[in-house]
A and B are shown apart, each in its own frame.
Chain A
């Protein structure tokens, strides 16, 4: 398949997954605040800041807003046009990519991402805020799940499918690591609060952000502690949103394309993903906590990013077009001999 098409499919899947995870994260934390566990202005701010930090969005947010309120954070993470990682922007980019590969994905997939985008353009922060934001986030989550379900039931298992899977799994692993990292940034008021009601509520929120609460309970962990939550979200070989699970899936797709068997590699991409799988396969939770959870998550994100870079180098790379403006201008100028298509040819 065309490298450019592979790239579009990959980013399409990534941005859809990103929109879903952002929706989960904001929704769960809004509920946490509404539950009354975080109920005065100071702690509301202290609650959101780590979330923005773990998403690497704190700088951009503080540049735009002087105070941290739930309303403003929701605006920023869900609707902001200037934040490239907001739900709106993610879906917009996903759709732009989908538009370029309409011949490669099923009509149903295209229509759903198009519907989601049109839905988002019609929402305003105030209307969502007033009518209860949960409905809104639920809609985003459901749409993303529908797109992934449609991909699974309508895409032939060619390279296109593998690139879709790679985008989805690399993004999911990255987002799970970020959601887990939120807890690192949250400061508990006092040391003795560890294991207290607030601590447990926060860990529960993290499990719910990953749809992992049910499975967590099912696994028979005796209590909600940092160790247990991290055990599940990092190392579970069964849970489809755990980092280990996602990286294994990612590695599978990478090898499906390169054709190299487990334990061997033909390019850097194979090697790095193979190594990360092994690291996760043979890590223990005690070891991770000994070295520091945050440091571990940080390094994992870097490793995922390296795999991403190698993917680009190996399969996608094409020269960057620097004359962006000229490029767009020339696209507009193409004579398509139709009276329909004259709008905007006067654009300067």
Chain B
């Protein structure tokens, strides 16, 4: 089959502008080019039915039949050479280190505010800043244990950070399952290909969770707290719990007695030491946060404060997810580590700053404007693609609530050959690596590559026609 298409103005992951295949894709390309269209279609079908059969699906809500859909999977893997990965890895380690120092600082001494690096009002007005936890020292001083950082590449191929997800990042189960599917469909591709393995992720995750157990507990009981069956990430919750061999619990399975957390078992209450929670702060404990929460556990926050149970991630990390705070991450890196950021931010403007705001209002049709605390492609305006009326109404929103809006220069996301069902075409992609912060910082080589399957689309959400790819990081000796 013929992969070639015009790379246009974009950075193409596989092809140079003159149509030559990039060095690190050559082995793959040589092995795959001989396949016929029919063979490709068959493998695509085999993978889709594998996902459906094993239940690797997400639930479509608002449908009484409870329709479950698979996340579209693209057969062409994204390949990252060793030297690029090295940069990404050190950039991510630098970033998570700074973010954790930042969280420790804002919940304790607030030096970064006193030294004038970040204005106090930005932090105090952050939606997910938990003043209840001021002066509370979290176990081992780690706030964000699991982080999913979204990376994109611009038209020159420069990796940039689009956002950090320091609350409950999800998607790692698809990283692992995409690899399994890929191995089933193309077993021969992996022979001597130098693709680094990723299947140790659940073990690393469990090690990290055990590491943060309360002091004096040698053999901690770790559980995963899920919102339940109706949550769209439920598959991932059961998947991770199964891989780690820990119990998956719902709020109603837990109870707090004398400051300790227990789970209800058929043989009575059993003590729990570490909770990998996939529930937002707001819902954790109805006696502290949202009173109407039926997913949480009454008394859990108190047990946490007493040090009888550890949580991953810690409470209050959402302040770092705020897109206004994102603007300050390069400054944090400089401030705490005295280093230059290895991975740059996308050029960003804060609507709250007068100069920036003026620029944003004048150039709204050229910029991407985002709400500070929304995700999933919601609450944003892509200026160049929006109508005049849309731009105007969004500008009004920005004017009325400047604290909660930022703007970014639009980035021409890199493209990757993607199977369209008929042929191959360039589609925009991003990358979400998963970072674990325990005794040491671990990043499994690769991450979730998401692809905007619709032609020209920049949005890689599945709700807006996005899918996933297997991501290969090559070992050193396979660089060329």
Residues facing B in A57-94 (CB within 8 A) are none
A337-B148 CB under 8 A given contacts A2-B247, A326-B292: yes
The minimal Cβ–Cβ distance linking A66 to chain B, given in whole angstroms, is: 25
- A-B residue pairs in contact (CB < 8 Å), sample of 23: A3-B253, A4-B249, A4-B253, A96-B229, A99-B229, A100-B229, A102-B242, A103-B238, A103-B248, A111-B53, A326-B292, A335-B167, A337-B170, A337-B321, A338-B169, A339-B450, A339-B459, A340-B174, A341-B58, A342-B377, A343-B60, A345-B61, A347-B61
Contact B58 A343 (CB under 8 A): yes
The residue on B at minimum CB distance from A315 is B266
Contact A336 B168 (CB under 8 A): yes
Asked if B295 CB lies within 8 Å of chain A CBs, one says yes
Set B167, B231, B460: member contacting A332, Cβ < 8 A: B231
The minimal Cβ–Cβ distance linking A223 to chain B, given in whole angstroms, is: 48
A342-B378 CB under 8 A given contacts A331-B228, A336-B233: yes
Set B169, B264, B432, B450: member contacting A318, Cβ < 8 A: B264
Set B54, B239, B279: member contacting A111, Cβ < 8 A: B54
The A contact surface, by secondary structure, is helix
Interface centre among B229, B253, B266 (most CB of A within 10 A): B266
Q: Which residues of B contact A345 (CB under 8 A)?
A: 61, 376, 378
Contact B61 A337 (CB under 8 A): no
The minimal Cβ–Cβ distance linking A177 to chain B, given in whole angstroms, is: 27
Contact B294 A334 (CB under 8 A): no
The minimal Cβ–Cβ distance linking B239 to chain A, given in whole angstroms, is: 8
User: In the docked arrangement, what's the CA distance between A189 and B461, Å?
Assistant: 66
Asked if B250 CB lies within 8 Å of chain A CBs, one says yes
Q: Which residues of B contact A344 (CB under 8 A)?
A: 59-62, 232
User: In the docked arrangement, what's the CA distance between A345 and B58, Å?
Assistant: 13
Set A2, A99, A335, A343: member contacting B168, Cβ < 8 A: A335
Residues facing A in B200-258 (CB within 8 A) are 227-234, 238-239, 241-242, 245, 247-250, 252-253
Asked if B36 CB lies within 8 Å of chain A CBs, one says no
The minimal Cβ–Cβ distance linking A39 to chain B, given in whole angstroms, is: 38
The minimal Cβ–Cβ distance linking A40 to chain B, given in whole angstroms, is: 38
Contact A339 B461 (CB under 8 A): yes
Asked if B375 CB lies within 8 Å of chain A CBs, one says yes
A336-B232 CB under 8 A given contacts A4-B250, A347-B62: yes
Asked if A246 CB lies within 8 Å of chain B CBs, one says no
Contact B238 A102 (CB under 8 A): yes
A332-B61 CB under 8 A given contacts A321-B294, A341-B376, A345-B376: yes
User: In the docked arrangement, what's the CA distance between A96 and B174, Å?
Assistant: 21
The residue on B at minimum CB distance from A316 is B266
The residue on A at minimum CB distance from B57 is A114
Q: Which residues of A contact B119 (CB under 8 A)?
A: none
A334-B231 CB under 8 A given contacts A339-B460, A347-B62: yes
Set A159, A319, A327, A337: member contacting B375, Cβ < 8 A: A337
The residue on A at minimum CB distance from B233 is A336
User: In the docked arrangement, what's the CA distance between A100 and B264, Å?
Assistant: 16
Residues facing A in B411-467 (CB within 8 A) are 432, 450, 459-463, 466
8 additional A-B pairs beyond A337-B165, A340-B462, beta carbons within 8 Å, are A103-B247, A114-B54, A327-B228, A337-B169, A339-B463, A340-B461, A342-B461, A344-B61
- Per-residue A-contact encoding for B271-289, CB less than 8 Å = 1, 0 else: 0000000111001000000
Residues facing B in A301-340 (CB within 8 A) are 315-316, 318-319, 321, 323, 326-328, 330-340
Contact B53 A338 (CB under 8 A): no
Asked if B265 CB lies within 8 Å of chain A CBs, one says yes
The minimal Cβ–Cβ distance linking B457 to chain A, given in whole angstroms, is: 12
Q: Which residues of A contact B227 (CB under 8 A)?
A: 330-331, 334
A110-B55 CB under 8 A given contacts A2-B253, A330-B283: yes
Q: Which residues of A contact B266 (CB under 8 A)?
A: 1-3, 6, 159, 163, 257, 315-316
The minimal Cβ–Cβ distance linking A162 to chain B, given in whole angstroms, is: 9
User: In the docked arrangement, what's the CA distance between A209 and B463, Å?
Assistant: 47
Q: Which residues of A contact B54 (CB under 8 A)?
A: 107, 110-111, 114
Interface centre among A102, A118, A321 (most CB of B within 10 A): A102
Asked if B113 CB lies within 8 Å of chain A CBs, one says no
Q: Which residues of A contact B375 (CB under 8 A)?
A: 335, 337, 339, 342
Contact B466 A339 (CB under 8 A): yes
